Structure 1
Amino acid sequence: MEQQVKKRNRGETREVDEDKWVHDSSLDHKGRVPLRGLTGVWKASLFIIAIEFSERLSYFAIATNLISYLNKVMHQDLKTAAKNVNYWAGATTIMPLVGGFLADAYTGRFIMILLSSIIYFMGLSLLTMSEFIPGLKPCDLETCTHPGKVHEVVFFLAIYLLSLGTGGHKPCLESFGADQFDDDHLEERKQKMSYFNWWNFALCIGLLLAVTLIAYVQDYVSWGVADLILTVVMGITIVIFYLGKPFYRYRVPEGSLFTPMLQVLVAAINKRNLPYSSSPDLLYEVPKSQKFQGRYLCHTSDLRFLDKAAIIEDTQNLSAEKGGSPWRLATVTKVEETKLLLKMIPIWLTSLTFGICVAQASTFFLKQSSTMNRKITTNFEIPPASVYSISAIGMSLSVTIYDKILVPVLRKATGNERGINILQRIGIGMVLAVLSMAIAALVERKRLIVVDNEIIQGGKVGAISMSVFWLAPQYIVLGIGDGFTLVGMQEYFYDQVPDSMRSLGIAFYLSVIGVGSFLSSFLIILTDHITRKGGRGTSWFGKDLNNSHLDKFYWLVAAMNGLNLCIYVFLAKRYSYKNVQRRVVVADFNASDRAESVA
């Protein structure tokens, strides 16, 4: 009886310790095990969301109006401007692969965010100076057809500095915010699922202000004043982010990320002739009695060939193997981490066509709006970029309804913590993307009929009578799709990568959008070449939108997404998710030491 009481007391002590301390391998700003009540969760995430709001405000203010700037100030034609926007957007969303790798392996996320913020601030400052300093300003738009070379060089240098800054910002900010929630604490794990939704809600608010308030200043006040506002806001939020330092939970970088994966592949190849193990329990794993930094992963039957890396060749020499070369024997956890990365490749590839759809919203959708009637009243006309706000509204509504209404209902119906699986959420957004492109094609066809009646035959000059709000359905549907697919991809690439690679995981998600932008540019070039040659000089992309056939291009993108969706569904149905062994926390009242845990 006394022994049972002692066991119960030890269990109560462990439970109290788990509520007091955070034993998930994170540290506080002084390198100690964090106190749960003083660090992490929303109190820390709000500082991080603040600087994300500023970064997204700046990014979308520049990205959504970039094609207009290149067209009006740089005097580039539609095709060249669209390609330059896609190249910049592609570079901006590919750079996070570098930033994410460096943060996870060497610098840590906090330091990378701080360095990237400074680079971002430098880019915004240079952009502001290019509009105010006489020697850097563009030429008088009334008297010249091309800006000065100096302004052109400074402008592109500035926006690519922003790309460089985003390279560290985007993968680390979101993953650093998610790190503030403990996966092995039930309440914090549920909060983390909501975190991704509300992170994107804040992102949409930044986007909304960027394409309304800032876009209005750009179009009707001054590009320089708009850049100055963005620079000041970024400076303020950098200070706010730094003030949150005592509240954050930090992850220590673990060195080279890909070496362990390579070791698994080499070990599996070296032992390719060995028979498969009769039981997963016979495969090698670090004993749970030893200190292990991280979480154990359960064995899965996927990519079974890699299991050979964990086969113990001689059970009599197990102790010697433990101290031997990791190029010969890998743990089950390392094998499973390698499987996770390899299984992500097909999902990443089948997400790229969605990235092509996203690229249209900030290029051709916006150019459509610039040719249409944007007047709300007799004296007020909305800027073309402000139409993008419809997409942000659609995404905000989608995220809010999903988090507050659908998830609680679906949790009860399915018994799944998330309501539905991550890949199911992504797939729903892909269906909506196909629908959005089909709607865009129909609306553009309608617009071209009006153009033919009013401009080509009627001789009208300027915007057509067709209201810009005809574009609302395609923007709303794509925005709702973003709320499913983009948020789902963020959660998927953060959650399903190895724990040590979460910044890189967010970078994988961003690379979908980046590669999608590059593919969009390539598709434009290829389609232009084929249609110009096959149509005896009549390309789908004319000198301006009124001489183009974007409706046919949208149908092409819709068809590509439809075919890709079939492949995605096939893969998603056969996908197995990360299988983590939940930890039981061992009491450790020395706050200066790292936490120990067992599976």
Structure 2
Amino acid sequence: MAEEGIYKKDGTTDFRNKPAVKHKTGTWKTCPYILGNCICYKFYIGVFFLGLYLIALGTGGIKPCVSSFGADQFDDSDETEKKHKSSFFNWFYFSINIGTLVASSVLVWIQTNIGWGWGFGIPAVAMAIAVVSFFSGTKLYRNQRPGGSPLTRIFQVMVASVGKARVEVPNDKSLLHFFDKAAVVTSNDQTKGSINPWKLCTITQIEEHKSIIRLLLIWATGCAEVFTFIGQLEFFYGQAPDAMRSLCSALSLTTAALGNYLSTFLVNIVADFSTRDGDYGWIPDNLNYGHLHYFFWLLAVLSVLNLGVYFMVARWYTFKKAPI
């Protein structure tokens, strides 16, 4: 009878598959190990997703820096190097698209058929090689002198122009002439004997600010592409046969590469036709002498035509039946 109180009566066993002893097993003694496992698992998942977010953050930071740093290696005052800079941008986007193609096809196949370890390991090794390759050319690089934070310069113009909202400036047809007020000298611009950059800005700084605002308008139109791209990727994945989803997803991503090649082809055609009479053309090296707005009107017309073709194809398309 004494042994009956020692063992569990519900048939549970210990790690040796013997009846569990009540005072040696179970209860709160086991909870730290169980909860510790849960905590470690959640920590592992957190580290995993943190790594993915850091990759995305690093990718977003390195792409614009690489393109700008590469373009800085060419001298605009030298006609030969100026032409080479245009070629650099073509090769830059070509490299990105090749990387996207390989990642969307070869690496997807490796992840699906071999394992995620290889799928993440190969890019990690490739990135390590890229870092070593980049630093190996340090002695050859042309470095621009730091000019301070561009965001600070932008906000200085905004603060200075708002602070001088009542200051009169010469009439200007430009929509952004309000920011010219930041360059008007007043008696309150000095702080302790020196010019306060938050109250008085240079003409160059103001023109930089205006350029950023103009670019933001173009950037806003590019944001619409994000919604199109996401919907397209989801569409290709959902409508693809089960055994071909990776292939169809890669096919969706290749549209970006083909679009870049087509845009390069279009730019070359426009530049050729618009310069036949000896004019600067629509897209010259110095955009101040060109007619870039004509080119954007052409893109708008092509977009409308593309939308019409899309509606025609959408009416013709038969959707894949959802599984019951």
Please give the TM-score of this superposition, normalised by the length of structure 2.
0.67
Aligned length: 276
Counterpart in the other structure of 2:122: 229
**3-state DSSP class of the match of 1:251?**
coil
Q: Which residue of 1 aligns with 2:156?
A: 263
Contact between 1:217 and 1:226, CA under 8 Å: does it hold in 2? yes
1:23-38 aligned at under 5 Å gives the runs none
* Other-structure match for 2:75: 182
Partner of 2:299: 428
Asked if the contact 1:410–1:420 (Cα under 8 Å) also holds between the matched residues in 2, the reply is: no
Match of 1:200 among 70, 93, 104: 93
Structure 1 residue aligned with 2:255: 391
Work out whether residues 156 and 201 of structure 2, in 8 Å CA contact, stay in contact via their aligned partners in 1. yes
CA shift at 1:243, angstroms?
Answer: 1.0
Quickly say closer, same or farther: Cα 1:310–1:389, change in 2 above 3 A. Answer: closer
Given that 2:233 and 2:253 are in contact with CA atoms closer than 8 Å, whether structure 1 keeps it comes out as no
AA matched with 2:55: L
Q: Is the 8 A contact 1:307 1:335 kept in 2?
A: yes
CA deviation after TM superposition for structure 1 residue 389, in Å: 5.5
CA contact under 8 A between 1:201 and 1:399: conserved in structure 2? Answer: no
Deviations 1:485-517 (A, max 9, x none): xxxxxxxxxxxxxxxxxxxxxxxxxxxxxxxxx
Amino acid at match of 2:143: Y
SS at match of 1:239: helix
Structure 1 residues 396, 409: CA separation in 2 closer, same or farther (over 3 Å shift)? Answer: same
The alpha-carbon distance between structure 1 residues 428 and 180, as it changes in their structure 2 partners (threshold 3 A), is: same
Aligned 8 A contact 1:310 1:329 in 2:
yes
Amino acid at match of 2:299: I
CA contact (8 A) 2:236 2:248 kept: no
Q: Deviations over 1:502-547 (max 9, x none)?
A: xxxxxxxxxxxxxxxxxxxxxxxxxxxxxxxxxxxxxxxxxxxx27
State the SS of the aligned residue for 1:447: coil
Check whether the contact 1:268–1:309 (CA below 8 A) recurs between aligned residues.
yes
Amino acid at match of 2:94: F
Measured after TM superposition, the shift of residue 151 of structure 1 is 6.5
In structure 2, how many angstroms separate the alpha carbons of the residues matched to 1:447 and 1:399? 30
Q: Does the 8 Å CA contact 2:237/2:248 hold for their aligned counterparts?
A: yes
- CA deviations 1:255-308 (Å, max 9, x no partner) are 333333333334334444343248x9xxxxxxxxxxxxxxxxxxx944222222
1:333-482 aligned at under 5 Å gives the runs: 333-371=204-242, 374=244, 383-388=247-252, 390-392=254-256, 394-395=258-259, 397-399=261-263, 401-402=265-266, 406-412=270-276, 415-416=280-281, 417=284, 421=292, 424=295, 428=299, 431-432=302-303, 435=306, 439=310, 442=313, 446-448=317-319, 451-452=320-321
The one-letter code sitting in structure 1 at the alignment partner of 2:218 is I
CA distance in 1 between partners of 2:235 and 2:44 (Å) = 26
The residue aligned with 1:161 is 54
Report the CA distance between 1:236 and its aligned residue: 1.4
Larger Rg, first or second structure (1 or 2): 2
Structure 1 pair 223/385, CA: closer, same or farther in 2 (3 Å)? farther
* Counterpart-to-counterpart distance in 1, 2:55 and 2:315: 33
Shift of 1:429: 7.5
Cα root mean square deviation, aligned: 4.1
Q: Which amino acid aligns with 1:368?
A: Q
CA drift of 1:323 comes to: 4.8
Tell me if structure 2 keeps the 8 A contact 1:264–1:306. Answer: yes
Structure 2 distance, partners of 1:150, 1:441, is 50
Tell me the equivalent position of 1:304.
177
Offset of 1:384 from its aligned partner? 3.7
- Could you tell me how far apart the structure 2 residues matched to 1:445 and 1:248 are? 54
> How far 1:162 moved relative to its partner?
0.9
**Where does residue 484 of structure 1 map in the other structure?**
none
The 3 A distance-change label for structure 1 pair 401 and 440 is same
Contact 2:233–2:252 (CA<8 Å) still a contact in 1? yes
Report matched runs for 1:505-516 at 5 Å. none
Shift of 1:360: 2.6
- TM-score under structure 1 length normalisation: 0.39
- Percent sequence identity over matched residues? 30
CA distance in 2, matches of 1:247, 1:425: 38
User: Distance in 2 between the 1:439 and 1:177 partners?
Assistant: 37
| Residue 243 of structure 1, aligned match among 120, 136, 147 | 136
Distance 1:174 1:150, change over 3 A: same
Question: Paired residue for 1:220?
Answer: 113
Map 1:52-91 to 2 at 5 A. Answer: none
Asked if structure 1 preserves the Cα contact closer than 8 Å seen for 2:236 and 2:249, the reply is: no
The Cα of 1:393 is off from its aligned counterpart by 5.0
State the match for 1:38 in structure 2: none
The equivalent of 2:18 in structure 1 is: none
Paired residue secondary structure (1:383): helix
Q: 1:168 deviation in Å?
A: 2.5
The code of the aligned residue for 1:304 comes to H
CA distance in 1, matches of 2:122, 2:116: 10
Q: Measured at CA, do residues 312 and 389 of structure 1 come closer, stay the same or move farther in structure 2, by a change above 3 Å?
A: closer
User: After the TM superposition, which of the residue ranges 437-446 and 238-247 deviates more from structure 2?
Assistant: 437-446
Is the contact between residue 108 and residue 246 of structure 2 (CA under 8 Å) also seen in structure 1? no
Distance across 2 between alignment mates of 1:190 and 1:406: 17
Letter in 1 for 2:50: L
| CA contact 1:212–1:386 (8 Å) conserved in 2 | yes
Q: Secondary structure at the match of 2:148?
A: coil
SS at match of 2:131: helix
- What secondary structure, in the 3-state scheme, does the structure 1 residue paired with 2:144 have? coil
Matched AA of 1:415: Y
Partners in 1 of 2:270 and 2:105 — Cα distance? 30
Matched, 1:171 2:36: no
Deviation at 1:438, TM superposition (A): 6.0
Q: Is there any run of 5+ residues in structure 1 with no aligned partner, and where?
A: 1-147, 281-299, 375-380, 453-545, 549-599
Question: What is the CA deviation profile of residues 79-106 of structure 1, one whole-angstrom value per residue up to 9, with x for unaligned ones?
Answer: xxxxxxxxxxxxxxxxxxxxxxxxxxxx
- How far, CA to CA, are the matches of 1:344 and 1:305 in structure 2? 17
* 1:163 positional shift: 1.6
